[in-house]
Amino acid sequence: MRSLPLVILATVVLGGTAHAETLRLSAGAPSAGLPAVSADGNRYARPVHVQPADCKGAQIFVEMGPVRTDGSELLLVKDDCSSSSATLAAKNLEMVNKQLAEGKYRSVGKTIGRPLGNDLDVDGRKVSIAAGSGNAVIVSTGKRDRWDVRLEGKPIEVRGWYGVKSGGQAYLSIAVAVSGKDLGPRGRERWLDFKPDEDSSAAEGSPTEVAERFLAALRKKDAREIEELISTPFWKVGLTPVGNKPCKRKQSASRTKQVRAVAACIAGGPSQVYAKYTSPDTLSEIELAELPDELRKHRRKVAKLLRGGDKLVRYYVADDDLYVTLILVLDADTDYQTVHAALEYIDAGNATENY
């Protein structure tokens, strides 16, 4: 799993309205149209909402900063919890509107609450967000990118998202609400900023090329790479460590946070056959009718995935007394860049080598 070199920023996302021309906030709607980015894509403006435990209302800020580097400014624009800050809020609101006009900011993204565990469309990119262990949240693009972010409170839900390009590089921002003892029911939101991998040569390929990457990771016993090539829900038949103690209850992953254990199980000691037979001729796309008899009992589950657009790639070896087949079901939702299911059957016959 890739480490996350980012700064976690306080924010909230409130319902906003689209602005065709100049984006301007008012005292009555101090976050309407936010989040927003400048015309050159280099700066953002996003609302920050905090509900203290002893307040029925909220403190609303606007955070403004550069997309590609740290160093944001947080400005209070409305405080329902105290009347003493009204003058400061009015002054800050005027300052924010001046910067929005100068930078010709435009509204971006969505400001809708969503439960954790949902897939989002962020600027045309599929992004999955799930709760991790403790106070962690897991964000992945379904291809090569996967981040595990630990927050200072328990994640409650997703509150908003947007995507932007700056300097030719794509950036994703996700707002996640967290709870805390000093907070009310709505809690405090955090913007999580990501720079996805844009290396299409490494991240994209034909179904057989993706299957070869999976097999290469299998040969190297690379659990991290296997983990990045798995999409949920995932299930497998076989691919159990050879000669080692079987992985108990590691046959499937219904949630993203369960993938790591399944990937570790797969990488724990695969059959030597995958290292011995590496010819491109061992891989090919197949149809459901070509599913081998030994795996027919899983036909119904495979057929359900195929109805969703998934594709089958088969790794096949027939050499003397050795018969091997590995079926990989590639996920249509990730443009066939990840594996939904894997089914293995090995018959070594009278071979003395421990496959």
% of the chain beyond a pLDDT of 70: 87
Among residues 346, 338, 348, the alpha carbon closest in space to that of 313 is found at: 338
Q: Is 136 helix (H, G, I), strand (E, B) or coil?
A: strand
Same-domain check for residues 13 and 145: yes
Q: How confident is the model at residue 355 (pLDDT cuts 50, 70, 90)?
A: very low
Residues 189 and 209 in one domain: no
Q: Are residues 59 and 106 in the same domain?
A: yes
What pLDDT is attached to residue 26? 93
> Over the range 204-229, which residues count as b (16 or more CB within 10 Å of their CB) and which as e?
ebebbebbbbbbebbeebbbebbbbb
Read off the tokens for 127: 């992004």
Which of 102-116, 147-161, 231-245 has the lowest average pLDDT?
231-245
How far apart CA 203 and CA 197 sit, in angstroms, is 8
Q: Are residues 236 and 186 in the same domain?
A: no
Which residues are registered as beta bridge partners of 272?
none
CA distance 176 to 249: 31
pLDDT band with cut points at 50, 70 and 90 for residue 100: very high
Q: Could you give the number of structural domains in the chain?
A: 2
Q: Which two tokens stand for residue 45?
A: 């403006």
Comparing CA positions, the residue from 61, 86, 80 lying closest to residue 72 is: 61
Please report whether residue 1 resides in a domain. no
* pLDDT, tens digit, 9 for 90 and up, residues 35-50: 999 998 899 999 989 9
Q: What is the CATH number of the domain that holds 287?
A: 3.10.450
pLDDT tens digit sequence for 336-348: 888 999 998 888 7
Specify the higher pLDDT residue, 348 or 72.
72
* 182, part of any domain: yes
56: Cβ contacts below 8 Å, ≥ 6 apart? 80, 184
pLDDT band at 6 (very low <50, low <70, confident <90, very high): very low
Reading the block at residue 16, the tokens are 């906003």
- When the pLDDT of each residue in the chain is averaged and rounded to a whole number, the result is 83
Q: Based on the domain organization, do 37 and 186 belong to the same domain?
A: yes
Helix spans in 297-341 (H): 299-307
The answer to whether position 4 is within a domain reads: no
Neighbours of 349 (CB within 10 A): 10
The pLDDT tens digits of the residues spanning 258-306 come to: 888 888 888 887 888 888 887 777 888 888 888 888 898 898 989 988 8
Closest CA to 267 of 207, 324, 225: 225
Of 194, 217, 247, the one marking the end of a domain is 194
Give the model confidence (pLDDT) of 181-195 as tens digits.
Answer: 999 999 999 899 998
Query: Is 2 within the bounds of a domain?
Result: no
> What average pLDDT does this structure show over 165-175?
86
Does residue 104 lie in a domain region?
yes
Domain co-membership, 85 together with 163: yes
134 located within any domain: yes
The length of the chain is 355
Q: What is the pLDDT of residue 147?
A: 84
Q: Is residue 300 part of a domain?
A: yes
Judged by DSSP in three states, 277 sits in: coil
Are residues 221 and 190 part of one domain?
no
Looking at residue 44, what is its pLDDT?
95
Let me know whether 46 and 172 are in one domain.
yes
| Higher local confidence (pLDDT), 244 or 283 | 283
Range of the domain at 29: 9-194
- State phi, psi for 81 to the nearest 5 degrees: -95, -10
Which pLDDT score, from 0 to 100, does residue 158 have?
A: 92
Last-in-domain residue among 163, 194, 225: 194
- Give the residue from 169, 194, 219 where a domain finishes: 194
Strand partners of residue 146: 140
Is residue 171 domain-shared with residue 132, that is, in the same domain? yes
Give the burial string for 144-181 (b: 16+ CB within 10 Å, else e).
bbbbbbebebebbbbbbbbbbebeeebbbbbbbbbbee
- pTM of the full structure: 0.54
Which runs of consecutive H residues, i.e. helices, occur in the chain?
86-102, 200-203, 207-220, 223-228, 259-267, 273-276, 299-307
Same domain, 113 and 226: no
Q: Which long-range contacts (CB under 8 A, 24 or more apart) does 254-257 make?
A: 255/117, 255/130, 256/128, 256/130, 256/138, 256/140, 256/232, 257/130, 257/131, 257/132, 257/133, 257/138
Q: How confident is the model at residue 52 (pLDDT cuts 50, 70, 90)?
A: very high
Q: Are residues 225 and 338 in the same domain?
A: yes
Ranges 129-138, 246-255, 326-335: which has the least confidence? 246-255
pLDDT bin (cut points 50, 70, 90) of residue 122 is confident
Task: Name which of 18-27, 70-79, 86-95 the model is least confident about.
Answer: 18-27
pLDDT the model gives residue 144: 62
> Is residue 353 one of the residues assigned to a domain?
no
Please report which confidence band the pLDDT of residue 120 belongs to, taking 50, 70 and 90 as the band edges.
confident
DSSP 69-126: SS--EEEEEEETT-STTHHHHHHHHHHHHHHHHHTT-EE-SB---B-TTEEEEETTEE
* Proportion of the chain in helix, strand, coil states, percent, rounded to 5: 25, 35, 40
Q: Give mean pLDDT, residues 124-130.
A: 84
If asked whether residues 189 and 254 sit together in one domain, one would say: no
C-beta of residue 30 within 8 angstroms of C-beta of residue 78: yes
Helix (H, G, I), strand (E, B) or coil at 293: helix
What pLDDT score does 9 carry? 35
